[in-house]
Amino acid sequence: MDIGGTGMKCALVDGSGAILHAERHPTGAARGSETVVETILDVATGLAGHAAEQGRPASAVGIVVPGVVDERNGIAVWSANVGFREVPLRELLTKRLDLPATLGHDVRAGGVAEARLGAGRGYGHVLFLAIGTGIAGAHVVNGVSFAGAHGAAGEVGHIIVRPGGPKCGCGALGCLEAVASAAAIGRTYAERTQQNATAADVATRSEAGEPVAMAVWAEAVDALTDGLHTAITLYDPGVVVVGGGLAEAGNALLGPLDEALAGKLTFQRRPAMVRAALGDEAGCLGAGLLALSLVDGTR
């Protein structure tokens, strides 16, 4: 189960990572954390029931959420857009379903899925970058993502690329997310033109040669290049897998990004740069892989 601010993506996943059955439900975050948790437990119960009806009873539960996640203790520490504060999701699921359960972070799980089943397959060191409303990252080595000492590793979106620049949601000035996320691209374009546009519109207009759109897009690519430069220097990945809404721009994003990186990296080896393959199911599949690891002993 992948719990997001607006919806939850749920599936029954078999031992090979294939989706046997999928469901989507609204999260209804406005109803409050306790009600959301009740919905999660009900949906999980329904999924387990469905699996049993099919003659293949569930053997474990994996759930991933955004924000700060204490994976060791199975606690959703802080998820702003879902409203979780210190929710012991793993224990609640284990009690309700009488199955082993594991709790993970949505982007790290998505990175694991891309590394094992998607665009990063075949690479031992994968840097997964999800560029949407915000920018998040995951560093996956041999199919395992590293959470850091406090569950906050891989937050590439908060690398400061423009000191003193636009204020980020985290409180700092000039974070990559505040300059080059899809939301930031739309906002910058609107400020300069007094026209509302999504990042996808800006990409299209930039390709069509509209000067303001070209400038905004180039600035975003430049900032992403600087952020990636730092991330590549730290992680030395074999491949960078770019996902999230902005990756829909395809070669309009990856082409210039790859080219700009080639010009900025010095001693660092340039990683392959590919578009994510699993779309918005990556988190859900990653949750399935986390659950499988409880059963088959990997990780």
Rounded distance, CA 256 to CA 216, Å? 13
List 9, 90, 158, 229, residue binding Zn ion (CB under 5 A) = 158
Q: Which is nearer to Zn ion, 92 or 156 (CB)?
A: 156
| Contact window for Zn ion (CB under 5 A) among 64-72, 114-122, 158-166, 288-296 | 158-166
Q: How many CB atoms lie within 10 A of CB 233?
A: 12
Report in angstroms how near the CB of residue 103 gets to Zn ion at its nearest.
Answer: 24
Nearer to Zn ion, 20 or 80 (CB): 80
User: Contact region for Zn ion (CB under 5 A) — 1-9, 156-164, 185-193, 275-283?
Assistant: 156-164
Report the nearest approach of Zn ion to the CB of residue 109 (Å): 22
Which residue stretch of 16-24, 77-85, 97-105, 151-159 sits at the interface with Zn ion (rule: CB under 5 A)?
Answer: 151-159
- Residue in 152, 172, 212, 215 binding Zn ion, rule: CB under 5 A: 172
Strand order, beta sheet including 84-87: 68-70, 75-79, 84-87
Q: Binding to Zn ion by residue 175, rule CB under 5 A?
A: yes
Choices 38-46, 157-165, 187-195, 241-249; region in contact with Zn ion by CB under 5 A: 157-165
Q: How far is the CB of 138 from Zn ion (least distance, A)?
A: 17
Q: In what order do the strands lie in the sheet with 135-141?
A: 144-145, 135-141, 125-131, 239-243, 272-275
Q: Shortest distance, CB of residue 172 to Zn ion, whole angstroms?
A: 5
Give 224-253 as a DSSP string: HHHHHHHHHHHH--SEEEEESGGGGGTHHH
Query: Is residue 168 close enough to count as binding Zn ion by CB under 5 A?
Result: yes
Sign of CA pseudo-dihedral 256, 262, 264, 265: positive
With CB under 5 A as the contact rule, the residue among 19, 170, 234, 295 that binds Zn ion is 170
Contact 36, 77 (CB under 8 A): no
Tell the smallest beta-carbon distance from residue 52 to Zn ion (Å).
44
Pairing of strands 68-70, 75-79: antiparallel
Spatial separation of the C-alpha atoms in residues 32 and 40, rounded to whole Å? 13
Residue 191's CB is within 10 A of a number of other CB atoms, namely 9
- Contact residues: Zn ion, CB under 5 A: 158, 168, 170, 172, 175
